[in-house]
Amino acid sequence: MELEIIDPVDEYLQMCRDNFDFPLIRKFLSDSKLRVLIDSLNAVTGLYTHRIFCDELGLPDSVCRNNVPKDDFGGLHADPNLVYAKALVDLMYSGEYDFGCAYDGDGDRNMILGNKFFVTPSDSLAVLTANNQKIRYFREHGFKGVARSMPTSAAVDKVVEEMKMPFFETPTGWKFFGNVMDANTLSLCGEESFGTGSDLIREKDGIWAALAWLSILAETNKDRDLSKERVLGVQDIVEAHWRKYGRNYYSRYDYENVDSDKANAMMAFLREHLADLKAEHGLAVADDFEYHDPVDKSVTAHQGIRLIYPDGTRIIFRLSGTGSVGATIRVYFDKYERDASKLGLETAVALKELISNAIAWSRIEEFTGRNAPTVIT
């Protein structure tokens, strides 16, 4: 028997060299002196981040935080969101850094941050789609289509409409993206739970997402004299996107460890009253999402209750099976805003009425006995 031992970091690094313009990114990072933080939360990406961001792209060792993988993640919660990656968020909101990224335990999810600015995963997918030609892989291999999970905000939908490309709205679960990728009709996909992926490796990939964002930053600033002109950063790119396509204010409420019987009773209550809710509140859609797979023709039912207003604003209720105890009720709020004067509101302010309606219509506090969610994203 012969065994071949490979270094997965070497293999992954070569793939990145082949599909991203590393010389351009490295020059941009040097010229712009972009202040970067990459937080692996003591998980697996720590094996890769120093090789890629320091050795290859020329950043100092200090940009890599928590990059030694540990069995217990060093006591950290390896989940890249505003709650569990709070240390990184606080550093980014100190104003001392310009680009930040965090990853989860197995490196497939990511959170992107700018200087005092959080990019929602939904906006990240929309911006990557709109700027796909600034990413070398898509320039050379083409951009076939995009998909999002149903609870993910409809921000990318506006981009798809303009670019007239294939689009898929799937249930939560990466396998649904995989089917359309295998059919060679999908290049980019994402979900609101901080997952972004491409057909390059047919999976979520947090490091890929960070490099894709750095590619966009580098291409956006390529023809600017950065010795005299201000660097256009993450916030500039996102706000320019909002001005062109409008903004989807988005948030998710998680009610964790709810008694399963009570959680199911609430969902049953909503299903029984869908017609009433649609009639009483002038909704365009009130249904229980059902997905018809365009590839294998399978049907996946009961994937979340959708309450959709005529302007596309949405409330989504979904039970999650990812909790360790009881059930988790996830409530998603997605409000589209086109008025340029209202693109800079605080998310909580923009969604206040929508959140109030969702709580009242579902009677979630009555069913769960909770007067607030466990986690707000």
Quick one: pLDDT at residue 375?
84
322, pLDDT greater than 60: no
Model's pTM, two decimal places? 0.93
User: Is residue 116 a contact partner of residue 92, using CB atoms and an 8 Å limit?
Assistant: yes
Quick one: pLDDT at residue 300?
93
148, pLDDT greater than 60: yes
What is the SS3 assignment for the chain?
A: CCCCCCCHHHHHHHHHHHHCCHHHHHHHHHHHCCCEEEECCCCCCHHHHHHHHHHHCCCCHHHEECCCCCCCHHHCCCCCCCCCCHHHHHHHCCCCCCEEEEECCCCCEEEEEECCEEECHHHHHHHHHHCHHHCHHHHHHCCCCEEEECCCCCHHHHHHHHHCCCEEEECCCHHHHHHHHHCCCCCEEEECCCEEEECCCCEECHHHHHHHHHHHHHHHCCCCCCCCCCCCCHHHHHHHHHHHHCEEEEEEEEEEEECHHHHHHHHHHHHHCHHHHHHHHCCCEEEECCEECCCCCCEECCCCEEEECCCCCEEEEEEECCCCCCEEEEEEEEEEECCHHHCCCCHHHHCHHHHHHHHHHHCHHHHHCCCCCCEEC
222, pLDDT greater than 90: yes
Angle separating helix axes 234-245 and 121-130, nearest 10 degrees: 80
Quick one: pLDDT at residue 323?
46
- Work out the pLDDT band at 204, boundaries 50, 70, 90: very high
Domain ranges of the chain: 8-245, 249-376
Specify the residue for token string 């219509």.
361
Q: Does this chain's domain 8-245 share its CATH topology with 249-376?
A: no
CATH topology of domain 8-245: Alpha-D-Glucose-1,6-Bisphosphate; Chain A, domain 3 (3.40.120)
- Work out the pLDDT band at 83, boundaries 50, 70, 90: confident
- Work out the pLDDT band at 321, boundaries 50, 70, 90: low
Quick one: pLDDT at residue 326?
83
Nearest to 312 by CA among 328, 288, 334: 334
Q: Compute how many other C-beta atoms are within 10 angstroms of the C-beta atom of residue 293.
A: 17
Q: Which residues lie below 8 Å from residue 79, measured CB to CB, with a gap of 6+?
A: 41, 85, 104, 105, 109
Q: Which residues lie below 8 Å from residue 9, measured CB to CB, with a gap of 6+?
A: 47, 48, 51
CA 13 to chain centroid, in Å, comes to 23
Strands 36-39, 64-65: pairing is: parallel
- Work out the pLDDT band at 29, boundaries 50, 70, 90: very high
pLDDT digits (tens, 9 = 90+) for 56-76: 999 999 999 999 999 999 999
- Work out the pLDDT band at 377, boundaries 50, 70, 90: confident
Which amino acid belongs to residue 322? T
Q: What percentage of the chain reaches a pLDDT higher than 70?
A: 99
pLDDT digits (tens, 9 = 90+) for 150-196: 999 999 999 999 999 999 999 998 899 999 999 999 999 999 999 99
Beta bridge partners of 287: 306
Q: Which residues lie below 8 Å from residue 16, measured CB to CB, with a gap of 6+?
A: 22, 52, 56, 207, 208, 211
Quick one: pLDDT at residue 28?
98
Beta bridge partners of 331: 253, 317
Which amino acid belongs to residue 356? S
- Work out the pLDDT band at 325, boundaries 50, 70, 90: low
CATH code of the domain made up of 249-376 = 3.30.310.50
